[in-house]
């Protein structure tokens, strides 16, 4: 590594790689660092999304598509089925994130970014109120690396934001703690991603089964942080698997957290910018963050390049990123946060009643928000406080 770059991106997940690629494509010197020795491993994701989530940012490649699905199904606590999907315009896929993340980092490298693994940020360099680089440790050696802009793409546990004085604190009710098995030898419908809700299944969250081909699937559970005292995620997962897949075999376990908060107060400063989970940009309803991260990363990269053309790396200039992501992704996050807050308070009986209120309806080509709109229409008293959102 050199001792100075135009931009340093901390974290080589999807948000970091797309930011690095976008800036490097404009001809600027970019360093992309990853604290782990392997990009994409360990996986901390259920891996489900739609093709049009990723296709604007990377060419689709069968190497990192584990399975294609027709749609999704939601099961109420009493087993009432809400079939969603068979949307020909938005076919679903289950990723192989270990390969997908590396492909994104490879694209960043091909665009001119320098990618270095096993390299951690230890702190930020500052001068006259601006961020001017990072203190790093790479393969046991500590060094100062200077830059005009530092991008924090270091996930839910982001330290970059805190070091820069940005409040990224999450309340327990705004964190989903998750556990997931990669399971084999299980009997599932390979054409659907399944979701299971219920306080006896996953307090304040849900369970999922995402096919990965050859009788394999990601089977996981997320529990809202404020309710983990009722049952730990791994205990919920073991119970869920024992009941539904008693003959299945778990060949991998991952654990992690997902931010389910409303947008934080700010994501930029003088010479600093946050993106992805570090900026709390995941969907508060589903916890999904791939599309939001990729979209915001592209915005970030374009704004950073514009800052260099102006030779102005101040918060005032970088605020263009703040404004643009809040006007797009941010509005959805705020709306979905209010919906999440209401759903978290519901009893299993209320969830069952909501599911039954949709009996007989055609859900082909209906997404999450369309489903919620229909629930509000069918249950106006329950969702009275959310009517203004739609």
Task: Output the domain CATH number for residue 271.
Answer: 3.50.50.60
Domain of 288, in residue numbers: 7-44+98-170+262-341
Token code pair at residue 312:
């102005």
| Percent of the chain scoring above 90 in pLDDT | 81
- Picking from 382, 371, 276, the residue whose alpha carbon sits closest to that of residue 333 is 276
Looking at the domain assignment, is residue 226 inside a domain?
Answer: no
Looking at the domain assignment, is residue 334 inside a domain?
Answer: yes
Looking at the domain assignment, is residue 55 inside a domain?
Answer: no
CB 115 within 8 A of CB 237: no
- Picking from 25, 23, 53, the residue whose alpha carbon sits closest to that of residue 368 is 53
List residues bridging with 259 in a β-sheet. 175
Query: What Rg value do the Cα atoms of the chain yield, rounded?
Result: 21
Q: Name the band, by pLDDT with cuts 50, 70 and 90, for residue 362.
A: low
- Picking from 286, 289, 284, 290, the residue whose alpha carbon sits closest to that of residue 261 is 284
User: What is the tens place of the pLDDT at every residue in 38-57?
Assistant: 999 988 899 999 999 999 99
Q: Name the band, by pLDDT with cuts 50, 70 and 90, for residue 377.
A: confident
Looking at the domain assignment, is residue 309 inside a domain?
Answer: yes
Q: Are strands 119-127 and 130-138 parallel, antiparallel or unpaired?
A: antiparallel
DSSP count for the chain of H helices, then E strands: 10, 19
Looking at the domain assignment, is residue 312 inside a domain?
Answer: yes
3 state DSSP class of 357: coil
Torsion sign over Cα 22, 25, 28, 32: positive
Q: Could you tell me which residue, 365 or 374, shows the higher pLDDT? A: 374
Q: C-alpha angle with apex 96: 90 to 102, nearest 5 degrees?
A: 110
Looking at the domain assignment, is residue 315 inside a domain?
Answer: yes
The CA distance from 322 to 212, in Å, is 36
Looking at the domain assignment, is residue 385 inside a domain?
Answer: no
Rounded average pLDDT over 97-119: 98
Report the number of distinct structural domains present in the chain.
1
Looking at the domain assignment, is residue 135 inside a domain?
Answer: yes
List residues bridging with 178 in a β-sheet. 222, 256
User: What is the tens place of the pLDDT at every residue in 284-298?
Assistant: 998 999 999 999 999
């Amino acid at each position: 590594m050199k001792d100075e770059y135009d931009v340093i991106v901390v974290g080589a997940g999807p948000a970091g790689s797309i930011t690095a690629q976008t800036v490097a494509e404009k001809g600027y010197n970019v360093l992309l660092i990853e604290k782990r020795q392997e990009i994409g491993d360990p996986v901390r994701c259920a891996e489900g999304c739609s093709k049009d989530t990723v296709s604007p940012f990377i060419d689709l490649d069968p190497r990192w598509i584990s399975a294609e699905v027709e749609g999704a199904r939601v099961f109420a606590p009493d087993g009432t089925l809400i079939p969603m999907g068979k949307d020909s315009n938005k076919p679903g896929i289950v990723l192989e994130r270990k390969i997908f993340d590396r492909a994104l980092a490879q694209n960043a490298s091909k665009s001119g970014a320098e990618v270095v693994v096993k390299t951690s940020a230890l702190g930020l360099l500052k001068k006259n109120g601006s961020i001017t680089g990072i203190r790093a440790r790479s393969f046991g050696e500590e060094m100062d690396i200077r830059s005009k802009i530092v991008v924090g793409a270091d996930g839910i546990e982001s330290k970059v934001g805190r070091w820069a004085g940005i409040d990224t604190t999450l309340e327990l009710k705004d964190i989903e703690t998750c556990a997931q098995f990669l399971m084999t030898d299980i009997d599932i419908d390979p054409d659907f991603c399944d979701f299971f809700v219920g306080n006896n299944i996953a307090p304040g969250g849900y369970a999922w089964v995402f096919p990965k081909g050859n009788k394999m699937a990601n089977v996981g559970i997320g529990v809202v942080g404020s309710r983990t005292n009722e049952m730990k995620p791994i205990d919920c997962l073991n119970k869920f698997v024992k009941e539904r897949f008693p003959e299945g075999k778990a060949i991998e376990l991952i654990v992690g957290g997902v931010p389910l908060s409303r947008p934080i107060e700010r994501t930029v400063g003088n010479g600093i910018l946050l993106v992805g989970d570090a900026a709390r940009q995941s969907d508060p309803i589903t916890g999904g963050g791939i599309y939001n991260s990729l979209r915001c990363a592209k915005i970030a990269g374009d704004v950073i390049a514009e800052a260099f053309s102006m030779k102005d790396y101040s918060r005032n200039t970088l605020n263009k990123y703040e404004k643009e992501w809040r006007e797009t992704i941010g509005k959805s996050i705020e709306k979905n946060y209010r919906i999440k807050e209401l759903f978290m308070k519901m009893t299993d009986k209320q969830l069952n009643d909501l599911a039954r209120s949709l009996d007989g309806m055609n859900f082909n080509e209906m997404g999450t928000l369309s489903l919620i709109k229909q629930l509000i229409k069918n249950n106006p008293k329950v969702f009275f406080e959310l009517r203004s959102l739609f």
